Amino acid sequence: MTGEGNHARPRKIVHVDMDAFYASVEQRDNPELRGVPVAVGSPAARGVVAAASYEARAFGVHSAMPSVTAQRKCPDLVFVKPRFDVYKAVSLQIRAIFAEYTPMIEPLSLDEAYLDVTENLKGIEIATEIAEEIRARIKAATGLNASAGISYNKFLAKMASDLNKPNGQAVITPKNGPAFVERLPVKKFHGVGPATAEKMHRLGIETGADLKEKTLDFLVEHFGKSGPYFYGIARGIDNRQVKPDRVRKSVGAEDTFAEDIHSYEPAREGLQPLIEKVWSYCEANEIGAKTVTLKVKYADFSQITRSKTVPAPLPAITDLEEVVALLLAPLFPPRKGIRLLGVSLSSLERRRSETTPQLRLAL
């Protein structure tokens, strides 16, 4: 264990988060899109916004929003088809800059990563200076803005990176960390999704201070294996290490819907941001996946999973979309409303660096 739980030297963790990454790449590469509200994604009836420029965000458009809703909020919204190959190339440029400062890099997706700069390759003592240098280098190399959060653990570094977005940075010190968490609404906590926030609300937990009042036993009883994590972060404690080059056994994302789903189109729409999230993680970490699992939880809390394994790692996000659609279609019409959907990838392996032939899958 390190850092905040004892008297050891505090760690120096930087969370770097690219600002409106996909949309910013599109605006960089096409001058006609600059200053215009841009959504990366499909404008089709069942399309979903993968990313929104800051001009679009001013109208209330955000990622994971159905395209029809986005168009209603912003009639002048310009949709651009995602170019994941370009985003990947830019992400690798950014990763190379990180590697000049530390080998301790944990990518979360193509546009964000944790860096442990406690011991760094430049011998720079002050983490805020490292963050400033990295952001300036990213801007010079790619023309894109990055924001950063600096703190003594991963949770607070992640929270800090949101404080001065876009194109800014913030630090949360060991001295002010616990007080910062106490004031923060739990719905803004990293790791607390809408369903968990709603459950906390029902239990009378609105802020970090409310969370801190609960015992570990209470949190484990109500939140299971997440209980100890919530207990720690309520006190500004997060002992998770920055883990470079890790290959998980699986990677997944799920979402609980505000209203139960009864038809195919909204279900497929709801799955798109989850597909993009798990694919982005795999791309950022150079991981390929052969097994796709769809999780469905119904209104009565019963749940089923459906899986498909293919002979070789999925080469493109379109192949993942195809497999998910294949697993989803037979479940309709459902016997009861669907309250939660999830997508996970397993049979993960490191991708070979050489270019592999893009074989179409026989699905």
Our answer to whether residue 125 is catalytic in this structure is: no
Phi, psi of 321 (to 5 degrees): -60, -40
Measure the CA–CA gap between 46 and 263, rounded to whole angstroms.
12
For 162, the token pair is: 């949101």
Beta strand pairing call for 287-298 and 49-52: unpaired
Measure the CA–CA gap between 237 and 155, rounded to whole angstroms.
8
Q: Which of 248, 339, 327, 329 is nearest to 292 (CA)?
A: 327
Q: Is 17 known as a binding-site position?
A: yes
Q: Which of 124, 92, 144 is nearest to 12 (CA)?
A: 124
Q: Kindly name the residue from 4, 26, 106, 112 that is annotated as catalytic.
A: 112
Phi, psi of 235 (to 5 degrees): -105, 10
Q: Which of 178, 160, 180, 179 is nearest to 170 (CA)?
A: 160
Q: Which of 127, 165, 163, 129 is nearest to 146 (CA)?
A: 165
309 touches 293 (CB < 8 A) = no
Residue 89 CB contacts under 8 Å (≥ 6 apart), including other chains:
none
Q: Is 111 known as a binding-site position?
A: yes
Catalytic sites, residue numbers? 112
Q: Which residues are annotated as a binding site?
A: 17, 111
Q: Which residues are annotated as a binding site for Mg(2+)?
A: 17, 111
